[in-house]
Amino acid sequence: MKPIDEILPTAPVIHVSPSPHLVQTASSTRRMMVDVLIALVPVVAMSLFVFRGYALFQLAVCLGGCLLAELVFVKMRGRPSTLKDGSAIVTGIILAMSLPGTAPWYVGTIAAFVAIGIGKIIFGGMGMNLFNPAMVGRAFVMISFAGALAASGFEDVRSAVDAISQATPMNAYKINGVVTPLTHLFWGTTNGSLGETSALACLLGGLYLVIRRTASWEIPAGLIAAVLVLGGVADLAGPADGWTVLHHILGGSLLFGAFFIATDPVTSPLTPTGKFIFGAGTGMLIMVLRLFSGYPEGVMFAVLFMNALTPLINRWSIPTPFGGK
């Protein structure tokens, strides 16, 4: 008697797996991270073009720091390596793009370790974190090394790179009332955090993310809508100093934050309504911080604050299932 698998060599196998029955394997973590990396290409390219060696240096420091931190902390937890899912690479690049080019090496390194260690691994790793890891790392170094990350830390008058030798547009306006032309903000030839300067690059990358549905459109839409409304009111109510609502949208890290930071699927709400509320809340807080705080920019704190409200928004906006209470 022959074994059964020789008699029926082509016996069909039926796999029964629990729901959800996702047929497209394209929506894996890795696929999403690759999408984000593709979307970051124009931003990174623009920062390399404007800041040259400074951008390369920050990218190397932050990427190296994040990958090393991921390797070390995951090993400490005794888990299989998670380097291949690409989330540490994304965190590293977003972190580098959010730092000033002039920041010394230890700023990026410490920010990377805090981002991965305290921002992500301590909560249980990828998918469990409450706050956007890159922003946790950046907030830590921003409060720690106020000299290197305050507005004056962005400038180095002796630098050969043009952008670095100017004041950032946000700071020039906040301190001296100097208004940077919109075209400069749009193309990105100004000083600032590496990835934030070019509105065009952020829009290109952001639109790719939204079209690929890797990032939901509700968050950037809500965020920009809130800034439009509050910026418009501030425009009408405030002095006519030339800083319009368009400057608010194209300047600072608003577009970078709207498309790349606030849209982190782990730390933003689950439902479309929730996402819109999250985006609008972030936009409102950004405007409040920009108009009334001592800081020229408020995207980081606004995103972190709304991250903390995400569970609340979820509870608020998740619809009741049929028959549920």
Q: Which is nearer to another protein, 145 or 186 (CB)?
A: 145
49 binds another protein (CB under 8 A): no
Question: Shortest gap between Cβ of 158 and another protein (angstroms)?
Answer: 20
Question: Shortest gap between Cβ of 307 and another protein (angstroms)?
Answer: 15
Select from 2-10, 144-152, 230-238, 270-278 the region that touches another protein (CB under 8 A).
144-152
Q: Which is nearer to another protein, 76 or 318 (CB)?
A: 76
Binds another protein by CB under 8 A, chosen from 60, 71, 110, 266 = 110
Residue 117 and residue 137: Cα distance in Å, rounded? 9
State the amino acid at position 221 in one-letter form. Answer: A
150 binds another protein (CB under 8 A): no
145 binds another protein (CB under 8 A): yes
Please check whether residue 256 is in contact with residue 202, taking contact to mean a CB–CB distance below 8 angstroms. Answer: yes
Select from 50-58, 78-86, 89-97, 143-151 the region that touches another protein (CB under 8 A).
143-151
Residue 276 and residue 270: Cα distance in Å, rounded? 10
Please check whether residue 112 is in contact with residue 106, taking contact to mean a CB–CB distance below 8 angstroms. Answer: no
Binds another protein by CB under 8 A, chosen from 32, 40, 93, 148 = 148
- Residues 70-109: x where in contact with another protein by CB under 8 A, - otherwise, as a string: ----------------------------------x-x---
Select from 53-61, 136-144, 152-160, 194-202 the region that touches another protein (CB under 8 A).
136-144
144 binds another protein (CB under 8 A): yes
State how far the alpha carbon of 151 is from the alpha carbons of 115, 184, 279, in Å: 22, 18, 26
Residue 258 and residue 263: Cα distance in Å, rounded? 7
Gap between the terminal Cα atoms of the chain: 60
Question: Shortest gap between Cβ of 141 and another protein (angstroms)?
Answer: 8
Q: Which is nearer to another protein, 75 or 84 (CB)?
A: 75
123 binds another protein (CB under 8 A): no
Rg from Cα positions in the chain: 22
118 binds another protein (CB under 8 A): yes
**Which residues would be at the binding site for another protein (CB under 8 A)?**
104, 106, 110, 118, 140, 143-146, 148
